[in-house]
Amino acid sequence: MKSVNLKRLAEELNLSVATVSRALNDRYDISQPTKDRVRELANKLNYEPNPYASGLRNQKSRTIGVVIPEVANHFFSLAINGIEEVARANDYHVLIYLTHEDYEREVSVARLLAGGRVEGVMISVASGSRDYAHLDSLQERGIPLVFFDRVHEELATAKVTTNDYESSYQATRHLLDNGCRAIAHLTLSESLSIGKRRLQGYVDALKAAGIPYDEELVVHALANKAQDIQTIQELLLKRPDIDGFFASIESLAMYTYEACRNLGLVIPTDIKVIGFSNLEMASLLDPPLTTITQPAYAIGKEAATILFRAITKNALITATQSLELKSELIVRGSTRASVDMVAAKAHQQRS
């Protein structure tokens, strides 16, 4: 119940607090016998240094903060795994904050972190985030910041992202190749650069195929299951010509499955579906979901590595350290071309 501190150790050993401290920190100027005596008692009493005292003294908290929209999402879970791995290797602690896609929450978290609770911050911004002043002020206070996946382009720091534009272009192209002509795009945010890039890839792929951009087919989701399914269903009813769905986040692909099922539409015969997703079990769905899979664990790991490099060097991070990893298109049943489509294509190639 009563805590073991340096004073207690010093008293029991008839040494000064300073000597005990230095012995425990293995300083060169302490004799080996003394070190041994100190360590022995420290172990016996299960001494653990008070992190608030040493944090205050050294102006170091050995803690980083991770700010993400959600944790019940495979992408972020895997990223946290990567981050925790690196943090632990560096003997650091990880504070976690969920914004639930809410800008206000993000701002208040940033304010808290500005107080010096952490030595660095990793963030994937909320879909509602428009401004980045709250993050800028972290940097102004000397707290290094790394973005991962969802970034504010304008802020001068490292961003670890994936090739979203290309992936999006490729995904759309894949749907087109398999016969889709009216492809809906489900997005969480157009204000975020990630949303813009993914939308642009979609738009450009359509354009390249000579298909005009149809604004009605771009839908903004709300990250609320019931409402999003409702929205998708309304779109499907309003636009029976839709034959493809491109979901820019994991949950939206699932909601599309549910919406199609509710309406009696068959994937991939009636509608083909592709989505960004890190679900291991995409292949076990009915039908197996074609995905663009981001290297989530690697993203977390790389971003954390950049952050710790800055913390160790006591330097801010520059945008030049940004990294773009590659996502992977994994084709499965949800985008399978119908039989006549395949025949048509074969015919086309022959002629």
- Does position 104 interact with a second copy (CB under 8 A)? The reply is no
Q: Between 61 and 127, name the residue whose CB sits nearer to DNA.
A: 61
* Residue 36 one-letter amino acid: D
Name which of residues 22 to 41 contact DNA (CB under 7 A). 22-25, 29-34
- Does position 56 interact with a second copy (CB under 8 A)? The reply is yes
Name which of residues 251 to 310 contact DNA (CB under 7 A). none
Q: Between 142 and 240, name the residue whose CB sits nearer to a second copy.
A: 142
Residues 6 or more apart whose CB falls under 8 angstroms from that of 189 comprise 127, 128, 195, 220
Q: Between 34 and 191, name the residue whose CB sits nearer to DNA.
A: 34
Q: How far apart are CA 245 and CA 283, in angstroms?
A: 18
Asked whether the beta carbons of 323 and 160 are under 8 A apart, the reply is yes
Residue among 19, 21, 73, 294 that touches a second copy (CB under 8 A): 73
- Does position 48 interact with a second copy (CB under 8 A)? The reply is yes
The one of DNA, a second copy, none whose footprint includes residue 6, by CB under 5 to 8 A per kind, is DNA
Q: How far apart are CA 146 and CA 316, in angstroms?
A: 10
Q: Between 210 and 264, name the residue whose CB sits nearer to a second copy.
A: 264
- Does position 333 interact with DNA (CB under 7 A)? The reply is no
- Does position 136 interact with a second copy (CB under 8 A)? The reply is no
- Does position 15 interact with DNA (CB under 7 A)? The reply is yes
Q: Which stretch binds a second copy (CB under 8 A): 55-63, 155-163, 180-188, 209-217?
A: 55-63
Q: Which stretch binds a second copy (CB under 8 A): 145-153, 156-164, 181-189, 280-288?
A: 280-288
Smallest separation, CB 192 to a second copy (Å)? 22
Smallest separation, CB 66 to DNA (Å)? 24
Q: Between 21 and 172, name the residue whose CB sits nearer to a second copy.
A: 21
Q: Between 19 and 231, name the residue whose CB sits nearer to DNA.
A: 19
Neighbours of 163 (CB within 10 A): 17
* Residue 192 one-letter amino acid: L
Asked whether the beta carbons of 114 and 90 are under 8 A apart, the reply is no
Asked whether the beta carbons of 322 and 107 are under 8 A apart, the reply is no
- Does position 264 interact with a second copy (CB under 8 A)? The reply is no
Asked whether the beta carbons of 114 and 138 are under 8 A apart, the reply is yes
Q: How far apart are CA 78 and CA 69, in angstroms?
A: 14
- Three-state DSSP at 338 gives coil
Smallest separation, CB 169 to a second copy (Å)? 27
Helix (H) or strand (E) holding 161: strand 158-162
- Does position 332 interact with a second copy (CB under 8 A)? The reply is no
- Does position 137 interact with DNA (CB under 7 A)? The reply is no
* Residue 77 one-letter amino acid: S
The one of a second copy, DNA, none whose footprint includes residue 41, by CB under 5 to 8 A per kind, is none
Smallest separation, CB 190 to DNA (Å)? 40
Quickly tell me which residue has 């149809």 as its tokens: 214
Asked whether the beta carbons of 101 and 69 are under 8 A apart, the reply is yes
Neighbours of 55 (CB within 10 A): 17
Whole-angstrom CA distances from 326 to 31, 74, 170, 299, 323 are 54, 17, 12, 10, 10
Q: Token pair for residue 272?
A: 């083909």
- Does position 45 interact with a second copy (CB under 8 A)? The reply is no
- CA 192, 109, 67, 291 torsion-angle sign: negative
Q: Applying CB under 8 A, which residues contact a second copy? A: 1, 3, 46, 48-53, 55-56, 61, 63, 70-74, 77-78, 80-81, 84, 93-98, 111-112, 114-117, 137, 140-142, 225, 254, 257-258, 261, 279-281, 284-288
